[in-house]
Amino acid sequence: MEPAITAWVEGIARPGQRIIESRALTGGYSNDNTVLTMTGGERYVLRRYLRGNKCALEAALARRLTGVVPVPDVVAADPTGEAAGEPVLLSAFVPGVPVSDLDATDLAGIGRDVGATLARIGAVEFAAPGFFAGGRLEPDGAEPAEGLDLWVDRCLTEGNAAGHLTDEEQQAVRRWARDAAPELSTLKGSRRLVHSDYNPKNLLATRTPDGRWRVAAVLDWEFAFSSSPLVDIGNMLRFPRPPAFTDAFLAGFQEAGGALPPNWRRLSQALDLFALADFLTRPVDHRYFGKAVDRIRVMLGES
C-alpha cells in the first residue's frame, strides 16, 4: 500500500495499532479490497475506489442499515482522500463464504434468508425515487424505471452489439423494450432502497450453530438507488438458479413483507434490461459483455 494510506490507517483510523499483514480479496470491477490484520489481532477490510468515488455513499448506507440488514460496520472513512491520498473506507472484516460458492443444496437452504434480507432492504424508504449524490441519502427525483425503450435503443446504437447480436435480434430487443416500457409505468414513484447488484457474489454466508446457512453480510453498495425492489429481484434471477433456491428466495421475500405483483417476472426482467443493455456498451472482452448477449438471447427466446 501507498505510505499515505498506511499512515491513515495506523495514525487516524486505528491509532496506536500497526498493520502486520495484508491480503488482497477478490476484487470487483470498480473497487479494490484488502484485508488488514493489526497488531491487536483485529481484521479490517480496506476499500479503495478504482472507478468512481462512492466512498461517502457506502459509508452513509452502512450506517443507515445498521440493525436493518447485516452490513460490515464502518470503522473509518476518508471520502475526499484528503488524509489518505485517495478515497478509502475501512470496515470490520466479516468472516464467511460468498453465497456464490455454495452448492445447490446449501443454496436451497439459504434461499429464504436471502429473500428475507432483500425484503428488509426494500423496506427502507426515501422521500423520492432517484439516484444519490455523495453521502447525502437524498434521491435526486429522477425516475429509474422510465425510458427503457430509449435507453435500449441508445445502448444498441452506441455500443458494441453489432457483430454479436444479429440485426434481427437487435430489432427484437427494441420491440421487447417498447412493449415493456408502458408496463413499467406502474412502478413510477417507487422509492425503496435498491441494492442494484443483489446477487450471490455480493452476499456472505455463515453457518449457525444448528448447521443452517444465514446471510452474514450484504456487500458492495456503490450502485444503490431509490426505486422498486423488483430491480434486485431481476438481478438475482438474471441467470438460472437452482429451482429450490429460487422458490425459497421468493418465499422468503414475501414472508418478510416483500410484494410481488402478478406480472413481477416481466417487470423484473424489464428493469434488469437497463443493466444488460448497458453491458453492451462495454468492450467486447469485458467479463459481462458476453454474458449480457447470452442473457438477452434467452430473454428473447422466452418471450
User: What letter represents residue 196's amino acid?
Assistant: S
Q: Structurally, how many domains does the chain consist of?
A: 2
User: What letter represents residue 177's amino acid?
Assistant: A
Structural domain including 41 reads 3-94
- One domain for residues 179 and 134: yes
Q: Among residues 67, 94, 121, which one ends one of the domains?
A: 94
- One domain for residues 11 and 145: no
- One domain for residues 245 and 222: yes
The span from the CA of 104 to the CA of 101, in Å, is 10
- One domain for residues 66 and 170: no
- One domain for residues 72 and 118: no
Q: pTM, whole model, 2 decimals?
A: 0.95
Per-residue pLDDT in tens (0 to 9) along the chain, 303 residues: 899 999 999 999 999 999 999 999 875 667 899 999 999 999 999 999 988 899 999 999 999 999 999 999 999 999 999 999 999 999 999 999 999 999 999 999 999 999 999 999 999 999 999 999 989 999 999 999 999 999 999 999 999 999 999 999 999 999 999 999 999 999 999 999 999 999 999 999 999 999 999 999 999 999 999 999 999 999 999 999 999 999 999 999 999 999 999 999 999 999 999 999 999 999 999 889 999 999 999 999 987
- One domain for residues 83 and 112: no
Q: Among residues 94, 127, 157, which one ends one of the domains?
A: 94
- One domain for residues 124 and 270: yes
- One domain for residues 216 and 293: yes
- One domain for residues 122 and 59: no
Q: From the CA atom positions of the chain, what is the Rg in Å?
A: 20
Q: Among residues 61, 94, 127, which one ends one of the domains?
A: 94
- One domain for residues 142 and 82: no
Strands (E), the chain: 19-24, 31-38, 43-49, 74-78, 88-92, 97-98, 130-131, 192-194, 203-207, 213-218, 225-227
Which of 227, 74, 213, 91 lies closest to 147, judged by CA? 227
Strands 88-92 and 43-49: antiparallel
